[in-house]
Amino acid sequence: MEIRTVRDEEFLKWRIAVRASQGFHTTPDDTVFMREHRVEIDRLLACVDGDRIVGCGGVDSFDMTLPGGAQVPIAGVGYVGTSPSHRRRGIYRKIMNRIHDDARDRGDIASTLWASQSNLYGRYGYGNSMPAYNWHIDMRHTAYAHAPAWSGEFLEPQRDEAIPLMSKAYDRARAVRPGMITRTPKRWEYEIHPVHTKDEFFVIYVEGDDPLAYARYTIEKNPEDEFRGTMHVVEAVAATDAAHAALWRYLLDLELVDDLKAHVRPIDDPLVWMLAEPRRLRRSLIDAVWLKFLNVPAMLEARSYPVEDSLVIRVVDAGADTGNTWSLESGLDGGRCVTTAKSPDLVMSEGELAAIYMGAVECSMLANLRMVEVTPRKPDAAKRADAMFRTSPAGWNPYHY
């Protein structure tokens, strides 16, 4: 068996193998559309046994916003699967290791993924860094008690007119929300597929000529009553608090639907505090985006920190007893991170470090669970790490690539 990059002439064969490993079919037309709008073929991998593709994996290139606003290159990992005939032969691990090695060689300093199984990726050094909520609310109980004022208006364009407006609003939000990633014009065209997403509606909130928020949604009609149904909010992004309040008021005021379901909402979304009956907003926690450091000092130095402090952290490699000890000095303008021979204040796996990085997971909680070791010399080290890595707004990525 050989693991290698995918060739142009076998792209359809590779795509069929990827989709089959996930329980889906594909078509030649869909594959051509994907090849033109989404993938970088030199970042796609195949495990080949004879003339069969028995394992798959790959990366999409993104820049990701870090706390403080820095943009850094990351690898968006996906397409990973193994044929049932070749499971438990180490193919999955070899593909993941190859993905990470190739990404480092290209200059990516982190990788992210949406996990198909929540118990799978910790072994590769990923941490559950950006959890999110799925929402469900009865539309009869959506009045606001508190909300910022807004003065803009709404547009209701069709797909082709909506995409450039949504792109502008998304980029405004991405500049200030850690965890959000770049989306090229072709990726927008791909994600809002003219056939597969033809039932989507679009709403854009604008102030003057400035698009500041948007939502994509569908309506699932009640089969027994066409004037009732459920709204599914596919994506809702806002660049300002006022735009957020306005956008959700529009969605929650839609008539002839009984309830609303929204997917992958930020862990710190303020809507629950805006509602007059906050209990009516049922929230279901999901793990969403997982993060892995490919370059520890680069990631720790690129973000900003809310406090000035210093800690010595030993980071243990996933699945091994090896690792490095880092001296981290944090400040409002960023961090300084170098290897050190000093005794560590904290010992954690690379997955735990990734988990606390975006501010949604507290180091002290992981320490209480014995997932992070705190030296007796510095019993307050985990609490200090909480303060260092606290992030507002919290990390979030609405884009399920």
| Chain segment 241-289, per-residue pLDDT in tens | 999 999 999 999 999 999 999 999 999 999 999 999 999 999 999 999 9
| Chain segment 215-225, per-residue pLDDT in tens | 999 999 988 88
Q: Tabulate helix, strand, coil % of the chain (nearest 5).
A: 30, 35, 35
- How far is it, in rounded angstroms, from Cα 397 to Cα 73? 15
Residue 346 shares a structural domain with residue 314? yes
- Is the link from the previous residue into 393 a cis peptide, with omega within 30 of 0? yes
Closest listed residue to residue 306, CA positions, set 390, 364, 363, 381: 390
Residue 306 shares a structural domain with residue 176? no
Q: Report the DSSP beta bridge partners of residue 222.
A: 225
Is the pLDDT assigned to residue 319 strictly greater than 80?
A: no
Mean pLDDT of 356-365: 95
Task: Indicate whether 78 belongs to any domain.
Answer: yes
Residue 299 shares a structural domain with residue 279? no
Looking at the 3D structure of the chain, how many domains does it have?
A: 3
How does residue 357 score in pLDDT terms, banded at 50, 70 and 90? very high
Mean pLDDT of 344-367: 96
Is the pLDDT assigned to residue 393 strictly greater than 90?
A: yes
Sign, CA dihedral 81-85-89-94, equals negative
Which CATH number covers residue 355?
3.30.1050.10
Residue 108 shares a structural domain with residue 139? no
Which of residues 259, 285, 311 is at a domain's end? 285
Task: Indicate whether 399 belongs to any domain.
Answer: no
Which CATH number covers residue 188?
3.40.630.30
Structural domain that includes position 230: 133-285
